[in-house]
Amino acid sequence: MSTGIIIGEDSLARPSWAATDPMMRTYYDTEWGMPVRDEHGVFERLSLEAFQAGLSWSTILRKRENFREAFAGFDPEVIEGFGEAKVEELLGNAGIIRNRAKILATIKNAKATIALREDGGLADFIWSFQPDSTPAPNALEDIPTTSPESVAMSKALKKRGFAFVGPTTMFALMEALGIVDTHLLGSHRRGTSGIWTA
């Protein structure tokens, strides 16, 4: 069974998905799995994970700057005011994923994020689902796609008015934010978040 670990020309061990494409490698080395605890950072990643549903992460990453421009830097207060004219404009923007349901979900989630400020805010809410332990995968096949916490988070967010927050998408969000560490045990990034030990 392949572990999915590849040693790069820099002698660092990475999973196969982050080993060849320079953009994905930089994202893996510097950003993925590092703690994000501010509302803006969490909202942006929540939004991008929703757009990623059914697509590859590299597709989203390549369009991230376009998304930031189209969605006002992922400022919930601006996005909550997006009306039908803005939705139509976004549907005509080839630089982003032109999916009406996902665009409407982003607007809905901006409103829900603002409402959540009265109860501690989005970042604290998301981080409250941090588990007691994190997976310790030896191979890519060992990495789960959901967890009891991601299922609970999905249900709780839906109750709060969020959309496109299924358990698999929320587990991916937990990985991206550092709430869980699913770096392979042989990876140079395992345990580097400061949240979990190697």
- In sign, the C-alpha dihedral spanning 124, 126, 127, 128 is positive
Residue 80 catalytic?
Answer: no
Gap between the Cα atoms of 55 and 161, Å rounded: 24
Show the tokens assigned to 3: 């572990």
CB 173, CB 32: distance < 8 Å: no
Tokens of 105: 């979900």
DSSP string for 87-122: HHHHHT-TTS---HHHHHHHHHHHHHHHHHGGGT-H
Q: Catalytic site residue 32?
A: no
Query: Which tokens sit at 188?
Result: 């140079």
27 is catalytic: yes
Catalytic position from the list 39, 44, 49, 175:
49
Catalytic sites, residue numbers? 27, 49, 57
